[in-house]
A and B are shown apart, each in its own frame.
Chain A
Amino acid sequence: MANDTAENGPRPPRGYAPLAGVPDEMVAADGTVRPSWTRLAGLLATEGPQEIESRRARAEQYLRDSGVFYRQYGAGSSDERPWPLSPVPVLVDAADWETLIPGLVQRADLLEALMADLYGENRLVAQGHLPPGLVAANPEWLRPMVGIRPASGHFLHFLAFEIGRGPDGTWWVLADRTQAPSGAGYALENRVATSRAFSELYAEMNVHRLAGFFRDFRDSLLAPGRDGDGRVLLLTPGPLNETYYEHAYIARYMGLTLVQGEDLTVADGKLHLRTVAGPAPVDALWRRLDSGYADPVELDPASQIGTPGLVSALRAGGLVMINALGSGVLETRALMAFLPRLAPVLLGADLRLPNIATWWLGGAAERAAVLADPAARMLSPALATGLPFDNPAGAHLAQGQDATAGLARRLEAEGHALVAQEVVRLSTTPTLIDGRLEPRPMTLRVFLARVDGRWQAMPGGFARIGASRDPAAIAMQRGGSTADVWVLGGRPGDNVTLMPAATGTYRRAAERTLPARAADNLFWLGRYVERTETAVRILRAAHVRLAESGAAARPLLQAVEPLHGFYGIETSRGIPPGLLDTLAAAVATAGRVRDLFSTDAWSALADIARTARQMATRVTPGDDAARALSALLRKLAGVSGLVHENMYRSQGWRFLTIGRQQERAMGMAAILAILADPRLPAGALDMAVELGDSVMTHRRRFAVATGPATVIDLLGLDGDNPRSIRHQVDGLAEQIARLPAAEDRGRPRAPLRAIMRIQVDLATQTPEGLTSGELWSLRSRIAGLSDRLTEAYFS
């Protein structure tokens, strides 16, 4: 056993053996642990499987609580999957990092120069440095963008590089991510989760912190000349995108407004955001949307998620795009064959950091080189833009005489459309597999951002770890995992946060104007959550009576069936599908505004939906259901508490609250209209009071028998009862009056006018006058507020 024959230097934890002939991040070729890993290796060596498991569990707990997920696509479907984190970080020592970063910075400059040429004068093609066909045939080279100069003076502002360590221990670039690089937000989440798993090490090891990178990039985006009033936007393809979670996370973390294409509009050559207070000009757009989708008028006409006129706004100047539209062309795999030769031409220097050996097979010499050693090459389409490991077409070349002859013919015919790349053997890093440390191949994603014109690297990154020993299994979509990257050598106590620096005069920033679509979603979120709560109360009241009275409860339950119909629920099952549907709608709506919604509230809501789905499989009608529903009700109260007690009284909170109040008012109107009917069996009024959560109050206020008038008074007209219609209507009037432009030159606009009329009518109503018919009419007037709000604020 290796660690029994300990010589000099620390040995790896028991049972950890690097693969033969492959460098390992933790263990050097001589079998000793590398210096930067000694503390982590020492810790892992002393701990048993249970202790290591509890570290893993701490990391997972964090990720679960934060709702970190990514979307996995299957045949015709997509699911949200838990984020696959390997809790053991990849450690990179300061010296290694400091040699790597200048190479990446140089590469970023090279890509910028190449982009400027491809969308400018095209001298590289004219001078014979690049084959014209490679550019002209490239679907990522967007002709409408040729000749449009970037407003900031730069095409590229945020890049990622996928790098790996080769057999000789040096770093190689495997792919350039220039279109709309993802992963920086996941790297932040990995950091928090991993620092929970190894909190003692993280505190002691002087790991470089990540927040400064994001702070500097944000400050650079919000640079002087822009007033920071929501004018820097993060553009996402939407909630169905694989990495939408990350878009919302970064928007929340950096304080940027998250928008979709439909939120934007172009007028007079200027991009605007549609907000609840009208169009607001936009200065900069950080897009996580692929270029082609950005504008259906001048780019892909089939795009449903773009903004008509965006290219026109760029042509007019004045809009900073991060990165410039068309930057996806730089991800073309065949370009890697040319970058080493382009560096001297464009930068006057050789590449400091090599990229994976690549041959564009449009040339005879390159074809011959590949045929000489086909087993060591991977073949893929020249214009592919995916990562080498994500592309199933990147298969090893066939071996044997016949195969080689066939290959020669294929290369001759299609060579211009193919590239060959070296089959790389990546270094391995320790990862936890079934409680044991195992070496697995890994790649790193490193991020560069342009800060005040200069490239700055995120001191850390995002490691992808293969699912098996085969380096081709690194893609997350095929079961790989990710890990945090700790760059060592940070200054002790270097705890940067995104809070503003304490220099200069403190100034409270004006609230950023809410995008109209976000307001719409928050309004509906308020409605769905409240609707769920009302449905749960109605169901619980029914199941309690079934449990207590059995068949005797039937006449009353039959009488309230119209109410069940309203909420799409029935009592034949403990947790009916209609309730799950409403909850799912709430979760989906919350998912569209994750950037505006607190993480805890989101987790609590997702937890309720999960719990309800589980309950639906086993809960039976009667007592069992009544208990389960009570449990759901308590959880719902938790969500409401998180939202209403903790959320800043922003415009967003206001729309959420308006939705909740409207739904609650409508619910109570329906409950009273149905249950306060004197023809109903005994117990209907008690049920109404119970649904209004007002049993104690009613008893205290009315020391007489329950009658329709007392119930209607308490649940309909008593403004001090937080469950009454009157209370909701007063609240709606108050909140709607505080919406942007609630009045126009002193006159209330439609939403305010509508609620004020309802308020006056209700204030002058008597319990006797609020008949069933009046209640239905009141309910439909309150329901009509939705349309008034939509016209005024959501469209």
Chain B
Amino acid sequence: MRYRLHLEIRYSFGHVAAGGRQLLRVLPALVPGRQQVAQCRLATTPVPLEERRFRDFFGTEAIEIVLPGGLTDLLVEMTAEVARTEAVPAPDISAPPEAMAAELAAVASLAPDSPYHFLSPSPRVPEVPQIAQFAREAAAGAATLAEAVARLGQALNRTIAFDPRATEVDTPIAQAFRLRRGVCQDMAQIMISGLRSQGIPAAYVAGYLRTRPPPGRPRLVGADAMHAWVRAWCGHAAGWIDYDPTNACRVNGDHVEVGFGRDYGDVAPVTGSLRLEGGQSGSHSVDIAEI
């Protein structure tokens, strides 16, 4: 499947803001065998004083920009053409949950995809006893790690209502879990906390989601969204499995990946002094059209 992807991030400041240094992580990733990218363009208004790109530890392409002072508005626009290979349903060859310790013991690596990065609490995914208990109950009786992942994802999807007004970007996962409400970021991070509590390495994946209109309705331009899901390590044979708790499904051809990390903080679309805080407003819109 081929998509034309368009992203717009806008900030309006209530006052004249000082310039600053930002990191943008919004470019679709090149993932061999799964995702190809052609014609990727990014433009910032006003034009940055400096702009450079580098790959971060986990391999995500980060764009570092330095903005001039006297800002009242900021616009980041990105356009890309992405070819996404539809995932072929595969038999479950993942290890049984009790084999995780042995599976991990066979890994001696700190490469970006080493499961060890994703086992411990991270800044935005602390240990939360209530989530751990929920995860234990949801995954109980699973014969394989993949099944445990799916069970937890389904249970969270049933329990947590999608509600963009209930949480904000910095809402702690314990609070979102208590509210039983949140967006894809909350869902993914709660699920990661639950998986790690059960000893299953889990990463946060940031990207885009092509949404399909309800039957009989036209596709709405700009109604697609930035999205997040979970990548769980299910042993050596099965490797990493992507699961989307917001939609209670394995990740498929509708998901376009930007990058992964331990939690939102590692792959946030914008980091730096212009994060959404009081006294300013921001919005983003995503449009994914099949071509």
Contact = CB atoms under 8 A, between A and B. Distances in A.
Contact of B272 (A132, A147, A297, A315): A297
Contacts of A301: 265, 271, 275
A136 B114 contact: yes
A46 interface: no
A125 B57 contact: no
B273 A308 contact: yes
Contact of A137 (B50, B52, B64, B119): B119
B116 A308 contact: no
A127 interface: yes
B116 A133 contact: yes
Interface string B62-89: 0010100000000000000000000000
Interface in A141-157: 143-144, 146-147
B56 interface: yes
A195 B273 CA distance: 50
B283 to A, nearest CB: 21
Nearest to B262: A143
B109 A132 contact: yes
A297 B56 CA distance: 13
Contact of B108 (A128, A147, A296, A312): A128
A136 B57 contact: no
A126 interface: yes
B110 A125 contact: yes
Contact of B56 (A137, A144, A266): A144
Contacts, number: 66
B57 A146 contact: yes
A297 B110 CA distance: 23
B107 A298 contact: no
Contacts of A308: 20-21, 272-273
A135 interface: yes
A632 to B, nearest CB: 42
Contacts of B21: 266, 297, 308-309, 312
A128 B117 CA distance: 17
A308 B67 CA distance: 12
B271 A125 contact: no
A620 interface: no
B271 A122 contact: no
Contacts of A144: 56-57
B66 A267 contact: yes
A283 B40 CA distance: 37
B207 to A, nearest CB: 20
B146 interface: no
B202 to A, nearest CB: 13
B109 A298 contact: no
Contacts of A136: 110, 114, 116-117, 119-120
Interface residues of A, number: 26
Given A125-B109, A309-B21, A312-B21, A297 B271 contact: yes
A126 B114 CA distance: 11
A136 B117 CA distance: 5
Interface string A306-326: 001100100100000000000
A82 to B, nearest CB: 38
A268 B56 contact: no
Contacts of B56: 143-144
Contacts of A126: 108-110
Interface in B247-291: 265, 271-273, 275
Interface string A764-792: 00000000000000000000000000000
B110 A122 contact: yes
Contact of A297 (B23, B109, B114): B23
B149 to A, nearest CB: 20
B271 A132 contact: no
Contacts of B49: 267
A81 B259 CA distance: 50
A137 B123 CA distance: 11
Nearest to B201: A136
The interface centre, meaning the residue of B49, B108, B109, B272 with most chain A CB atoms within 10 A of its CB, is B108
Contacts of B116: 132-133, 135-137
Contacts of A297: 21-23, 271-273
A125 B108 contact: yes
Interface string B7-43: 0000000000000111100000000000000000000
A749 B225 CA distance: 52
Interface in A266-314: 266-269, 296-298, 301, 308-309, 312
Nearest to A300: B123
A269 B20 CA distance: 14
A268 B271 contact: no
B54 A132 contact: no
B253 to A, nearest CB: 31
A474 B192 CA distance: 42
Interface in A376-393: none
Contact of B50 (A125, A135, A143, A268): A268
14 contacts: A125-B109, A132-B114, A132-B116, A133-B116, A136-B119, A144-B57, A296-B272, A297-B21, A297-B22, A301-B271, A308-B21, A309-B66, A312-B52, A312-B64
Given A137-B116, A137-B120, A309-B21, 11 more contacts: A125-B110, A132-B107, A132-B108, A132-B116, A136-B110, A136-B116, A143-B57, A267-B66, A268-B50, A301-B265, A301-B275
Interface of B: 20-23, 49-50, 52, 54, 56-58, 64, 66, 107-111, 114, 116-117, 119-120, 265, 271-273, 275
